[in-house]
Chain A
Amino acid sequence: MAASTTTSSTPSPGQPGALRNFFTELRYDKAGLFGFSVIVLLILMAIFGPLITPYDPAAQSVVARLKPPAWLPGGSWAHIFGTDHLGRDVFSRVIAGARISLIAGVSVVLLAGAFGVLVGLVAGFRGGRTDSVLMRIVDIQVAFPGLLMILLIVSVVGPGLVTMIVVLAITNWMIYARVVRGIVLSLRQTPYVEAAEMIGCKPGRVIFRHILPNLTSPLLTLGILEFTNVVLAEAAMSFLGLGVQPPATSWGLDVANGKDYIFVAWWLITFPGMAISITVLSINLFANWMRVTTDPQEREKRFARAKAAERRRGKRHDAPAPAPVEA
């Protein structure tokens, strides 16, 4: 009885004031706000990287090799995060790495997402044999030894940023197809879509008016989560030497370069690795916040839990009151 009276008060995104609402909401969740801030920072780093970096990330210097970070003896503020075995500035390389990560993440998600959504829409709409054939292909490809196939293909074709993006897209589209097909199938069961089809709405109209609006939110969440997977995959592939190739910069590549120096220069793997972790963690925190905020039921539960926790805390100080019977 409670839920029905309150859900209507949550404005949906796209209404006037939605943006302001977004920030008001975000302020209450510290983790979400942290995630969002880091994401903004990363995007700025990716766009304006070359303008911010104190040094050319590829510039080598024989005299300034393996310098420790600024706060350690022997370090200097000229190289905040120290320098690597070729005398390159670690701080500049960390900033420069953001670009590759974001490029890889965005392109793979868009490529795989577009293809997967298309397959899912076709399968869900045509149904019947088309559906079973497409879904069987999805099933089969899901059962492929994914990463090993990637290694095999990359080793034959030759590594590089574009190869990596294409291969990751080819191996990651299935989840979108499955999700979209599932939603389309369940939506087609709903009375309003059934009615629209019955009165003769063209499939295109049904898709754009009724199906797509319902896909945005789940696809956004899925896309964000997949984005973090791609960032991790890019880093792992570059670490293995099968992704981004030098002289280009990538966090994964930098960790690989630093791994021979872990006895003498811990900062070489630490800072690029932290960059990957913080990037992925921020996106995860933001996505987690978004998932809760866009789901009225989840918000309602959250509110009640917070209230209950508040009461529990209050009770410890007060005289024992009749407790709700709880097993």
Chain B
Amino acid sequence: MDAISDMPLLEVERLCVEFDTRAGVVHGLRGVDLSIRRGETLAIVGESGSGKSVTAQAVMGLIDVPGRIVSGDIKWKGQSLLTGDGPKRAREIRGKEVSLIFQDPMTSLNPLLTVGAQIAEVLQRHLGMTKTQARTRVLELLEAVGIPAPPRRANQYPHELSGGMRQRIMIAMAIACEPQLLIADEPTTALDVTIQAQVLELIAGLQETLNLSVILITHDLGVVAGLCRRVAVMYAGRIVEMGLADDLFERPSHPYTQGLIRSTPRLDDRMNRLIAIEGSPPSLLSPPVGCSFRARCPIAVERCTEQPPLAVVHPGASAACWRPSVPAWQESPPLEAALT
């Protein structure tokens, strides 16, 4: 993780994405700013509907009807992917320099093609390989993602492989062209717990050997800690807190982050009860004015009706909150106290 260059690889600027529904316009992303450098690892955390997957899809150019990018920009190595001949460039970059791993390996592979053919497709598209060249490379890739007996596996169809195997295939496909950025959209959610660890380990290993930048999207804070250096917390289509992972877990600034950490089970802290954050996220059909977390926030004040900017709280951490770092919740009562 020491090969971080100064030039950001990917910059997302004030990105807004909307979805047309019969009930009205759903504001999926409301001004998201992100940037990631070469070799850097970033986790995007948030509950479902917070916009983490939409962010990934926007970067990959996968926003489709009913969704559309209304404003903002996505820049790859300083050049816009949305304006001018950006869209054309985006098609060249996609799958080659940036690649994406999806959540559900069961449905993410074409059931009617062998996994080998599906990996070879990327190589043929981006590196202009012939079928035979691609075949050799496919076997190397399968080896690299830890699939035993590559020649046999390459000729199998997705339904003949387990979920973990399929996710490895997806990873092989993603790293086929030695990309600079890998976006993993909840890569382990659909897998068994034991397999989850293996897949995460694989991603971490590849990150180091290939000097990949990784954006890991997850709702599971437990996954983040070992893998990512920085964390962005999303809530209702916005980033509410961003900082170094260790720091953020140690002293979360935004009340939502505090709540999120409080509601995550921890092995070393058996005495405390798990406490969910009361209420539910606001509807993105008509998002509230000001801070979106206001309604669920125990320390909300008058001023929260104004949208707080993402401002530096302390070195390496910024939060979109007027009262950052104020403990929003009392320490949870010990279990014994709760029982009596």
Contact = CB atoms under 8 A, between A and B. Distances in A.
Q: Would A and B touch once assembled, by the CB under 8 A criterion? A: yes
Interface of A: 1-3, 5-6, 9, 299-301, 303-305, 307-308, 311, 322-327
Identify which of B22, B61, B67 gathers the most chain A CB atoms within 10 Å of its CB. B22
A326 B57 CA distance: 12
Contacts of B191: none
A1 B65 CA distance: 14
B26 A2 contact: yes
B87 A299 contact: no
Given A1-B49, A323-B82, A6 B66 contact: no
Q: What 3 A-B pairs have minimum CB-CB distances, sorted nearest first?
A: A304-B66, A325-B61, A6-B23
A81 B90 CA distance: 63
Given A322-B82, A325-B81, A2 B21 contact: yes
A44 B65 CA distance: 43
B71 interface: yes
Contacts of B285: 5
A299 B22 CA distance: 8
Given A325-B69, A325-B87, A1 B22 contact: no
A317 to B, nearest CB: 18
B87 to A, nearest CB: 5
B87 A303 contact: no
B90 A304 contact: no
A324 B283 CA distance: 24
Interface residues of B, number: 30
A188 B62 CA distance: 37
B69 A304 contact: no
B131 interface: no
Given A308-B65, A311-B68, A323-B87, A5 B283 contact: yes
Contacts of B63: 324-325
Contacts of A9: 22-23
A295 to B, nearest CB: 13
Contacts of B102: none
Contact of B21 (A5, A305, A311): A5
A30 to B, nearest CB: 20
B201 interface: no
Identify which of A301, A323, A324, A325 gathers the most chain B CB atoms within 10 Å of its CB. A325
Contact of A6 (B22, B49, B67, B69): B22
B208 interface: no
Contacts of A5: 21, 23, 26, 283, 285
Interface string B37-67: 0000000000011000000000001111111
25 contacts: A1-B26, A1-B48, A2-B19, A2-B66, A5-B283, A6-B21, A9-B23, A300-B21, A301-B66, A303-B20, A303-B21, A303-B66, A304-B66, A305-B65, A307-B66, A308-B68, A311-B68, A322-B71, A322-B73, A322-B83, A324-B63, A324-B64, A324-B67, A325-B81, A326-B64
Nearest to A4: B49
A307 B21 CA distance: 9
Contacts of A304: 19-21, 65-66
